[in-house]
Amino acid sequence: MHRLLTIASQITLAAGEEGESAAEEAHDAFVPGITSGPLVEWAWLIVVVPIIATFIIMFWGKKMPFKGWEIAWGSIGFVAIYGTVLFVLNATQGIVYEGAVEIAQIGDLTLEWGWVVDGLSIMMYFLVGVVGFLVFTYAKSYMKGDVRFTWFFASFSLFAGGMLVLVSAPNLIQLIVGWELVGVSSYLLIGHYWEDLANVDAANTAFMVNKVADAGLFLGAIIMAVSVGSFRFDDIIDVVVHGEAGMLSQYAFWAGLLIFIGAMGKSAQFPLHVWLPDAMAGPTPVSALMHAATMVTAGVYLLARLFPFYLDPTGMFAGDVRDIIIVIGGLTLFLMGFLAIVQKDIKKVLAYSTVSQLGYMVAAMGAGAYTAGLFHLFTHAFFKALLFLGAGSIIHAVHSNNMLDMGGLRKKMPVTFWTFIVGTLALIGIFPFAGFFSKDEILASMKYAGENGQDMANFILILGIAGAFITAFYMTRLLALTFFGKYEGHAEPHESPKMMTVPLVALAFFAVAAGWINWPGVYTGFTTWVATRIPLTGMGDHHPEGLDWSLVVIVTPVVLAGVVAGWFVYGRKKKPQAERDSFRIPVLWPFFENLYYIPDFYMNAIVRPIMGPISRVVLWFDMYVIDGFVNLVGLGSLGLAKVVRVFDQNVVDGFYNELGAGVGGSGSGLRLMFTGRVQQYAAFSFIGVVVIAVLFIIL
């Protein structure tokens, strides 16, 4: 069953002619060109191929020449090609299509499995495919010699496939299925080196924190589906567009808040961020794909898919939740950057950087900046994948994650060094690298939101600018300790093989050029591409006509000041690594090193009480109440069985035994009468006739 997303023409900002006019102008601004045809009708293959590849690798991977890697690589390559074709066609013609197959009916609710092909999903197909292809290529060399090489690529394919199930979903049920597939895959991959208990703990932490957040998503989805009468996204948005709130208006705030809690867990927003840095226990290719195009972007994607519901043009839905979203995003982007400053593990520095950048994306959604948030998701995917793979190249060379075991690597690893420089410049937002354009648009959107009545946006704008300084500071520290100074490791560093460096070069290209597709005043194609699902320009999404120079002249010096400060503190030459990294601010640094004491709070306020008195109460209740009841029922059943056995043996069996004996005795008596002698039978017949005649006469 195929449905087109045709609600674009029905957008109304508010009652009145002005709202209707804005909606009509928005609809006329872009009309999708592709709404049918084999290319979109067969797009379900994007989802199915990696899932099938997972099972092929599991059952036959070890018998293959490359131990199953070739199947994983081929499947993600298929996604990359298909996603790129769709991306180009959407950019040139526009695509809006939805296919679905009905699976079941539960009352008035229909369960469907489908695939959405629109601007938002196509962007994710492209990212998962292209970034995934480069990461899978890199991973073959990085994972060489691993004892669970085949299992790794089976789990890795499932990880990518789960994300594609999620982003292709036309309804909340399928999204949740993909959501959980990504979660279980991440659990397997984070705990890949399960021989080390710390890695098992990291996998458990990631799984449990996300399960807590998922409870919010499940409840919010149920409330929304019951209120609207459908799990389908276009039905939900259709209600928002028409302003026909009905039952949903009573529960919209809580539905929106609960769904956002689910997004907070997946996208590691404060204070549910604690799992993501620990997730660095997994192999580096996992970290690259997880932080770039899959798991952690799922929360931002969900907010984007339901964006009109949160934007709330009619004031009847979840508009009030946006203030919470922007505050959570703002706190995350600001607070997490400080934690990156004190990390020794190069991957954990990048992990906290990801959490901070996700804060920018979430804050943008809270400010009503759909395009800006997605644009930063898009550019961040490339330069963060580059940085993680660069970190993996370093770890591969020095056999350590600790930056104090590094130093002086720029001459020994030139390709890794220069591509890492490109990724860093993109992350901190230096012109003309990709991060400059996407982060600038987020800050400009904050400014716009503040000028148009969202007071909290002004405060988050300040945090965003401060966050840019912090980002530049900790990334300069990372560069100084890793590539400059004197090498202090024990291994012999060397440049990585081409199968690892070629993906670095490719990602470096995207880390520069990806920002140019949404250059205000020059070219803003990305704005149109992600709006093909619905013309969001008519719903208040801010699109600047040019760079906001008032922000540029503030933010760029702030970023450069962060670089200078970082180099001044950590770039001292001819000093041992430990001495170069000895800078501490007495009050703040212990606070940062203990991660704001949030893990301690969780352990002391939640985990230990659950494992201590609460678990003992639960154990007592289980042993003496539940088990007691079960045992009592069991004893009663045994007693009843004994009664039944006695009754069965002495009454039922006795009756049938006596009946059988009587039949047997009768048979023995009758046997004497049937001897086979004709004279005897004739005598019996004569006697019988006499008896009948006598009875006939008498009666």
Cβ neighbors of 78 (< 8 A, separation 6 or more) are 45, 46, 49
At 678, is the pLDDT very low, low, confident or very high (cuts 50, 70, 90)? low
pTM, two decimals, is: 0.84
Q: Are 381 and 131 in contact (CB under 8 A)?
A: yes
Please say if the pLDDT value at position 284 is more than 70.
yes
Least confident of 246-260, 393-407, 496-510: 246-260
Least confident of 52-56, 233-237, 312-316, 450-454: 312-316
pLDDT tens digit sequence for 350-405: 999 999 999 999 999 999 889 999 999 999 999 999 999 999 999 999 998 899 88
Bigger pLDDT: 18 vs 200? 200
Residue ranges in 367-454 assigned as alpha helix (H): 370-398, 414-428, 434-451
b/e 449-463 (16+ beta carbons within 10 angstroms → b) = bbeeebebbeebbeb
pLDDT tens digit sequence for 64-100: 999 999 999 999 999 999 999 999 999 999 899 999 8
Domain spans, the chain: 322-531+548-579, 599-689
pLDDT of residue 31: 59
pLDDT of residue 561: 96
Q: At what angle do helices 414-428 and 549-570 cross, to 10 degrees?
A: 140
Please say if the pLDDT value at position 8 is more than 50.
no
At 11, is the pLDDT very low, low, confident or very high (cuts 50, 70, 90)? very low
Least confident of 56-65, 494-503, 651-660, 668-677: 668-677
Q: Are 406 and 577 in contact (CB under 8 A)?
A: yes
Tally Cβ neighbours within 10 Å of residue 251. Answer: 17
Q: For the chain, count helices (H), then strands (E).
A: 31, 3
Distance CA 236, CA 97 (A): 17
pLDDT tens digit sequence for 555-594: 999 999 999 999 999 987 777 888 888 888 888 888 888 9
Q: Are 340 and 353 in contact (CB under 8 A)?
A: yes
Distance CA 577, CA 656 (A): 95
Cβ neighbors of 646 (< 8 A, separation 6 or more) are none
Please say if the pLDDT value at position 61 is more than 70.
yes
* CA distances from residue 186 to 141, 158, 210, 358, 665 in whole angstroms, order as listed: 21, 9, 11, 18, 78
Residue-wise DSSP of 297-341: GHHHHHHHHTHHHHH-TTSSSSTTHHHHHHHHHHHHHHHHHHHHH
pLDDT tens digit sequence for 296-349: 899 999 999 999 889 877 777 888 899 999 999 999 999 999 999 999 999 999
DSSP assignment letter at 118: S
At 692, is the pLDDT very low, low, confident or very high (cuts 50, 70, 90)? confident
Identity of the highest mean pLDDT range in 23-37, 337-351, 685-699: 337-351
Residue 255 backbone dihedrals phi, psi, to 5 degrees: -65, -45
Percent of residues, the chain, with pLDDT higher than 90: 49
Please say if the pLDDT value at position 492 is more than 90.
no
Q: At what angle do helices 370-398 and 119-142 cross, to 10 degrees?
A: 0
Q: Name residue, tokens 């009573």.
A: 250
Kindly state the average pLDDT of the residues 117-140. Answer: 95
